[in-house]
Amino acid sequence: MIQNIESLTTVAHVIQLAVAPAFLLTGIGAILSVLAVRLGRIVDRFRVLTESHDHHHVHVIIEMKLLSDRSDWVHWAITLCTVSALLVALVIATLFVGTGIRFDPTHWVSPMFIFAMISLILGLICFLREIYLSTHTIELPPEMSL
Q: Are 70 and 134 in contact (CB under 8 A)?
A: yes
Going by C-alpha positions, the residue among 123, 108, 128, 131 that lies closest to residue 24 is 123
Q: What is the pTM of this model?
A: 0.81
Q: Are 87 and 119 in contact (CB under 8 A)?
A: yes
What DSSP string describes 84-107? HHHHHHHHHHHHHHHHHTT--THH
- Listed in sequence order, the residues at least 6 apart from 64 whose beta carbon sits closer than 8 Å to its beta carbon are 46, 49, 50, 55
Going by C-alpha positions, the residue among 99, 75, 68, 79 that lies closest to residue 6 is 99
| pLDDT in single tens digits along all 146 residues of the chain | 555 555 666 666 667 766 788 899 999 999 999 999 999 999 999 999 998 877 678 888 899 999 999 999 999 999 999 999 999 999 988 888 887 777 787 888 889 999 999 999 999 999 999 999 999 877 766 777 66
Domain positions in the chain: 2-138
CA angle 15, 19, 25 (to 5 degrees): 135
